[in-house]
Structures are given as C-alpha cells and as structure tokens.
Amino acid sequence: MAVARDLMTPGAECVGENETLTVAARKMRDLDVGALPICGEDNRLKGMLTDRDIVVKCIAEGGDPNQTTAGTFAQGKPVTIGADDSIEEALQTMEAHQVRRLPVIDGHELVGMLAQADLVQAAPGRAGRTVSEISEPS
C-alpha cells in the first residue's frame, strides 16, 4: 500500500520564521505555490503559512508585510504526516484538521509536501469524500 513518501512532492522549501511576509510571498510566487512551511532557526517545522494568511490576517488587518515575520503565523503544533504513514492516515488527518496540504516529516526533518491533489491518484473515491469534509464549515 502507498505511503505519504510515495505521493508527496519532495524537497519542500521553507520560509524562515524571521523572514518577512513579503519575502514569503515572493517565494510563493517563484515556486508557484499557495503555502509554505515555516521553519525555525533550528530547521524544525514551526507551522504553515498560506497566501490567504498574508492577505486576510496581515494586509486586510492593516499589517505591514514588510515588517511582519512568517513566525507570527507559526502558532501551536503544526499538523504533519509521517513519511511512512498510510494514505488513509493522511486523508483522516486532512479531514480532522480541515487542511488541504500536509508537511511530510521523517523524524524531525521536513522531506516533502502532500496535497489533496496528490491523494486523488491513490484513492480517488476516498479523496473526494475528504475534499467534501475539508470544505464543510466547522
């Protein structure tokens, strides 16, 4: 059976917790992604930052993306999946936390990202239910 490592996009790039949201936005643009893992000085995953966070939680609130750091959004324990965890576990985790992307870790090292789209290939029917669950308001 397929595991997260089999379907993930390897080599996920982080935004540093002390980098500004402007730097993060440029990385998102250059990588053509809507979310980046936030990594600390210790290279450990601290959280996730989305393009929506930048717009809704910073700019729309009158914040300055040139002064606000990515670490501002690294709150609590990030939702992750282990590299050798099953696809079913990844789907359950996405549903339970209503997230569309999961950082994939091996030990404490970020090794990739797993998105809903990656899971559709492995479990098309099940992934469809997950999309519905995630899209429902909590």
Average pLDDT over every residue of 71-80 = 86
Average pLDDT over every residue of 64-80 = 91
Measured distance CA(138)–CA(133) in Å, rounded: 9
pLDDT tens for residues 5-15?
999 999 889 99
Task: Delineate the domains of the chain, giving CATH numbers in brackets.
Answer: 4-135 (3.10.580.10)
Measured distance CA(2)–CA(85) in Å, rounded: 9
Q: What is the pLDDT of residue 129?
A: 59
Instruction: Say yes or no to pLDDT of 97 above 80.
Output: yes
Handedness of CA 31, 59, 52, 84 (dihedral sign): positive
42 versus 56: the higher-pLDDT residue is 56
Q: What is the pLDDT of residue 136?
A: 59
Instruction: Say yes or no to pLDDT of 89 above 80.
Output: yes
